[in-house]
Amino acid sequence: MQASQDNKNNAIDFSSIPVEALESLRLRLTQLASLSSTLTSYSEILDQTVTYPLPQFPTTEQEGLLTTLLRKKALPEVIDWIKESKENSTDILLKDDEDSTRWAAELVLNKRNEYNFNDESDGDMMVTDLKPEPKLNVDQVLKYMYQGVLPEKK
Amino acid sequence: MISTGVLAVHNASPNSLSVFHDAIISEIPKLSGRWSFELKVFRSNNAHLASTQSSFLFNINFDHEPSKSITLINKISITTSTSPSKELIDSGSLVGSCDPLDLIVQSKLQSLWLVRQTLKVDNGFTYEINQGEFLLRAVNVYLNGSFKNFLIFIEYHGNEKAKESGLEKIKESIARFRIPPGNLHTEQLTETKEYLSDLAYQTVQALQF
Amino acid sequence: MVQQLSLFGITTQSQHSLLIASLSSLVGQTRSQKYENLTVLAKPTTIIKFEPNSTKQQYEQYKIQLKSKIDENFSDIESLREWGLQVYDIPNQTVQNSSSTKKKLNVNSQNFLESYIILNKGDKLDDILKELGYERETSYRIKGERFYYGNITIELFQILIYVENEWILLDNSIMVKTFINIAKITDLENINKSTQELVNLKMELTGLVDLSVPDKNNLDSRIGLNFRK
């Protein structure tokens, strides 16, 4: 309530902002950014580096730590994060939506036809004003062309 | 319009050609190289044809018109050419790699026509007389290695002043150039002159198939 | 002898402008080349019955196609004095590869012979056919447009037939034919290259028109097949 009243007075109350937590987050992010850039610049070396425990390493007692350290694959939860973020960021594939693609293409053509791009008009030679669906398939048309035979009417 | 006639020389021998050659030289002709033609004779693959149909199909290709060939059945002549017009190709009527018709008859119409003999008539002479007013071609015809005929082809390339004058000129030329006697064939296929078709028809007539 | 490699497809009239626009931009040709011809299909006057047990030599009989250039105002077949005559073999099913291995073709491959015929004055096409031992069976008009893409010719066409004193469409479809002609049928390298070119075009046009190898029996111009069954 008080805040909204203060807003009206054009004064902003910062008292409820967790400054310390934000500052800590900012610091972490900076560190992460620094780590990320360091990893990137050494990625080539890191990719080629083979890591193994020295003989002094207490393999038996610290087995858990060892496997964590040497783990190459991301953790299952990390894989899930990556997958989730990929799904969210990928563009919609046009081919998954053929109907809207066709609609858009036809709209563009129709709009384009409303304008005259060529000086001379070149009448369409083909008959395209009729739109009933074709009754013959490729093979039936070819059979007529080469043998003069039309499919019998049912 | 070129007028043509084909003469089958009477009582000819293989030697008649050189006798004629020596005589025609006195006209001081322009000799324009060797000349030849090829004649394919097809016989109807009988019993399948209607009775009105001819039992022969001839196909002639003359050396001086190498891209064209003439197919004759009865008094119908079909001219085929191996160089088609671009118009026809553009219209989708042809792809453009044309063969003479006899090749199609020989390979795809065997149920109707079968080749009986192929005559390769070569080593003929061409004489151009009086600046091309007359063109004579003389050639010996051999059939299966034995002498069959001595043919003289007469063409009149001059101007025709009156009707029939081309034919008259050809008849006159026989005496004028001391051409040996024989059967002269000047029949035209139709009322209008068709140079190559008429020449082919006259050739077949002269060879008496 | 010509060997033609081809793929066929069919589309609807409503897809025509979309297809034309797509092809124009694919091949970089702003305007298609229009063409029109009349095809006369002729069959032997006498059809010889195939006798399976006969000792006599028997010959295959073929239908022949005669085609001539026409235009919008076409009315009289006698006015056409130049014709292309074609006789088609049954399409090849396999192609001989470099070694002796045979493999199934990805494209239609058909051999044919053609002749260019010039009619003499006064002669009628029907008379010529009759003397050859043939007769007219049917005729149809082809109206089409053409694009060139590399070595490929792309043709879109419609067939018109003459019914009750007028030319009408055989069907409301538009045929698509893509082909390459091989001049030398022994030129294996060219055949393989051209086959690949056609297959690539088929991929290119996926979703727009479905190009395929038709049933070869429909491109077979031999007759007497009915007697054989």
Judge: B92–C144 Cβ closer than 8 Å, yes or no.
yes
Q: Confidence class of residue A119 from pLDDT cuts 50, 70 and 90?
A: very low
Contacting residues of A for C18, CB less than 8 Å apart: 102, 105-106, 109
CA nearest C222 in A: which residue? A147
pLDDT at C29: 86
A16 or B22: which leads in pLDDT = B22
Closest Cα of chain C to B74: distance in Å?
8
pLDDT at A117 over 70: no
pLDDT at A130: 47
Q: Which of A9-23, B21-35, B41-55 has the lowest mean pLDDT?
A: B41-55
Closest Cα of chain C to B154: distance in Å?
22
C93 or B134: which leads in pLDDT = B134
Judge: A142–C214 Cβ closer than 8 Å, yes or no.
yes
A45 or A12: which leads in pLDDT = A45
Among C63, C207, C214, beta carbon nearest to A138: C214
C interface residues, A as partner, C-beta within 8 Å: 8-10, 12-14, 16-18, 21, 31, 34, 36, 39, 41, 43, 63, 65, 88, 137-138, 140, 143-145, 156, 158-159, 169-175, 207, 212, 214-215, 218-221
Does C touch B (3+ CB pairs < 8 Å)? Answer: yes
Burial class (CB in 10 A: 0-12, 13-18, 19+), B188: middle
Judge: B78–C128 Cβ closer than 8 Å, yes or no.
yes
Judge: C172–A144 Cβ closer than 8 Å, yes or no.
no
Question: Could you tell me which chains touch chain C, where touching means 3 or more CB pairs under 8 A?
Answer: A, B
Q: Confidence class of residue A153 from pLDDT cuts 50, 70 and 90?
A: low
pLDDT at A121: 47
Q: Confidence class of residue A1 from pLDDT cuts 50, 70 and 90?
A: very low
CA nearest C209 in A: which residue? A138
Q: Which of A33-47, A133-147, B96-110, C86-100 has the lowest mean pLDDT?
A: C86-100
Per-residue tokens: B203: 């050739």
Could you tell me if residue C227 is inside a domain? Answer: no
Closest Cα of chain C to A89: distance in Å?
27
- Across the B:C interface, residue pairs with CB atoms under 8 Å apart total 138
pLDDT at A17: 81
CATH number for the domain harbouring residue C181: 2.40.320.10
pLDDT at B123: 93
Judge: C113–B93 Cβ closer than 8 Å, yes or no.
no
pLDDT digit string (tens) for B59-89? 999 999 999 999 999 889 999 999 999 999 9
Q: Which of A33-37, A113-117, A141-145 has the lowest mean pLDDT?
A: A113-117
Judge: C115–B92 Cβ closer than 8 Å, yes or no.
no
Judge: C215–A106 Cβ closer than 8 Å, yes or no.
no
Closest Cα of chain B to C99: distance in Å?
29
Q: What is the DSSP string of chain C?
A: -EEEEEEEEEEEGGGHHHHHHHHHHHHT-SSPEEEEEEEEEEEESSPPPP-TT--S----EE-EEEEEE--TT---GGG--EEEEEEEPPPEEEEE-SSS-EEEEEEEEEEEEEEEEEEPTT--HHHHHHHHTEEEEEEEEEEEEEEEETTEEEEEEEEEEEETTEEEES-SEEEEEEEEEES-TT-HHHHHHHHHHHHHHHHHTTTT---BPPPGGGG--EE-HHHH-
CA nearest C62 in B: which residue? B108
**B103 in contact with C, Cβ within 8 Å:** yes
pLDDT at C111: 94
Place of tokens 């043939």: C134
Closest Cα of chain A to C214: distance in Å?
6
CA distances B45 to A48, B51, B60, B115, C136, Å, are: 83, 13, 20, 9, 21
Closest Cα of chain B to C90: distance in Å?
12
pLDDT at B32 over 80: yes
Provide the domain count of chain B. 1
Judge: A147–C88 Cβ closer than 8 Å, yes or no.
no
Give the structural domain span for C173. Answer: 2-222
Give the structural domain span for B203. Answer: 3-207
Burial class (CB in 10 A: 0-12, 13-18, 19+), A58: exposed
Cα C153 from Cα C151, distance rounded (Å): 7
Could you tell me if residue C74 is inside a domain? Answer: yes
Closest Cα of chain B to C6: distance in Å?
14
Among C18, C36, C63, beta carbon nearest to A106: C18
pLDDT at B76: 92
Does B touch A (3+ CB pairs < 8 Å)? Answer: no
Contacting residues of C for B103, CB less than 8 Å apart: 113, 115
Q: What's this model's pTM, rounded to 2 decimal places? A: 0.74
CATH number for the domain harbouring residue B85: 3.30.310.180
- The segment with the largest mean pLDDT, out of A18-27, B10-19, B38-47, is B10-19
Q: What is the DSSP string of chain A?
A: -HHHHHHHTT----TTS-HHHHHHHHHHHHHHHHHHHHHHHTHHHHHH------TTS-TTTTHHHHHHHH--SPPHHHHHHHHHHHHHHSPPPGGGGHHHHHHHHHHHHHHHHTS--SSS-----S--S--PPP---HHHHHHHHHH--PPPP-
pLDDT at B99 over 90: yes
Cα C185 from Cα B197, distance rounded (Å): 33
Cα C166 from Cα B21, distance rounded (Å): 63
Tell me what the mean pLDDT of segment B52-62 comes to. Answer: 85
Provide the domain count of chain C. 1
CA nearest C126 in B: which residue? B76
Per-residue pLDDT of chain C (229 residues; tens, 9 = 90+): 899 999 999 999 888 988 999 999 999 888 899 999 999 999 998 887 777 777 777 888 999 999 999 998 898 899 999 999 999 999 987 555 555 555 666 899 999 999 999 999 888 999 999 999 999 999 999 999 999 999 999 999 999 999 988 999 999 899 999 999 998 878 889 999 999 999 999 999 998 999 999 998 899 988 864 444 3
Judge: B87–C69 Cβ closer than 8 Å, yes or no.
yes
